[in-house]
Amino acid sequence: MSQPLRNEYFGPYKLIRSMGSAHGASRFVVLCNRTDTNYTLYRFEHISNAKQRRTLFDTLLKMSVLNHSHLLKIQSVTYDDSGRLCVVTPYTGNHDGLVTLDDLLLVRDGKLGMIEAARALEHLLDAIRYAHLQQVVNGSIHQSNILVDRYGCLQVQFYGFDSLMESSEETAHKRMIQVADEIRSIVELGYTMMTGLTSRNDRIAPSRVIKKLDRNWDTWFDIGLDPLDGFESVEHAIQALPTNPNCDQWLTTKSIRVPQVHIGSMLRRFRTPVSSRSSRSSATRNR
């Protein structure tokens, strides 16, 4: 819940009200007295450790390079008079405050229209494809971290922040896992936006929930939510979207994946069912 503030400034920005916190920073709606425009201010607490301060500053600078319509744009990164790092971004909310995809789904009874959901998937996947080309990966994305502006446009808040803040060096294997988790999380969001249900092992095919839905959506979600395989890349997920007229060839063809995936698939094929093992054990004991 937002709380009004009194006569507190950060440069040309007057703090209007508090909007809780996000990513370890206090968040405020501010008004720029030069342009008479609202922005969002993220203010981190003072960090005494020089290395940690540098890591945070460098992370935010890397994020500020990202420039995509569906990634929240960082417009400035600087320190205030108290040595607290402050980040200014566009204000995406309305007169009541910021709106997340979580909030939107709550007022829409848990789901969006099919066309809205498909468009949201296209926007989010295009955003992460762009970020990956800039060598930035986020990992799993939650709907509470996706902002919705007054026009229904989705923007991922502080994309890449957590992964960039990690001090350990990134390896190819770690990046591969982060990319896979990220794509799968978007597919899970798409399933929820379209059906109003959560993706589980016993999930219902979307065509059974939505009348006259293109059956290619069933295949798309089957691939994207497969715990062992999944889409090979963001590009694969985008091209296979049923909104693409040429999706069929992307839904039916796959190139060779990393060996461990095929090993997992092979083990699953030859795995003995639990019931069979139990009956064998009982038969052995009865001899």
- Domain that includes residue 154, residue range: 101-264
Asked whether residue 125 falls in the same domain as residue 246, the answer is yes
The reply to whether 14 and 54 lie within a common domain is yes
CATH of residue 13: 3.30.200.20
Does 176 lie in the same domain as 236?
yes
The verdict on 13 and 36 lying in the same domain is yes
- Per-residue confidence (pLDDT) for residue 5, from 0 to 100: 63
Residues 130 and 212 in one domain: yes
116 in the same domain as 217 = yes
**pTM attached to this predicted model:** 0.83
| 154 and 222 assigned to the same domain | yes
Q: Indicate if 146 and 215 belong to the same structural domain.
A: yes
Within a domain: residue 166? yes
Q: Does some domain include residue 125?
A: yes
| Res. 263: pLDDT tops 60 | no
What are the pLDDT digits (tens) for 227-260? 888 999 999 999 999 999 999 999 985 554 443 3
Is 286 inside a domain boundary?
Answer: no
Question: Average pLDDT of the chain?
Answer: 86
Residue 278 lies in a domain: no
Mean pLDDT value across residues 188-212: 90
Note whether 55 and 108 are same-domain residues: no
Confidence check: pLDDT of 42 > 90: yes
Number of separate domains in the chain:
2
**CATH assignment at residue 151:** 1.10.510.10
CA–CA dist 240, 29 (Å, integer) = 39
Q: What is the 3-state secondary structure (H, E, C) of 57-105?
A: HHHHHHHHCCCCCCECCCCEEEECCCCCEEEEEECCCECCECCEHHHHH
What pLDDT band is residue 202 in, cutting at 50, 70 and 90?
A: confident
Q: Is 269 helix (H, G, I), strand (E, B) or coil?
A: helix
The SS3 call for residue 170 is: coil
pLDDT value at 100 more than 70: yes
Q: Based on the domain organization, do 17 and 83 belong to the same domain?
A: yes
pLDDT tens profile 52-97: 999 999 999 999 999 999 999 999 999 999 999 999 999 999 988 9
Query: 46 with 114, same domain?
Result: no
Report if residue 197 sits inside a domain. yes
Q: Output the pLDDT for position 254.
A: 56
Please choose, from the candidates 23, 59, 70, 62, the residue with its C-alpha nearest in 3D space to the C-alpha of residue 234: 70
- Both 153 and 216 in one domain: the answer is yes
Percent of the chain with pLDDT over 70: 84
2 pLDDT higher than 60: no
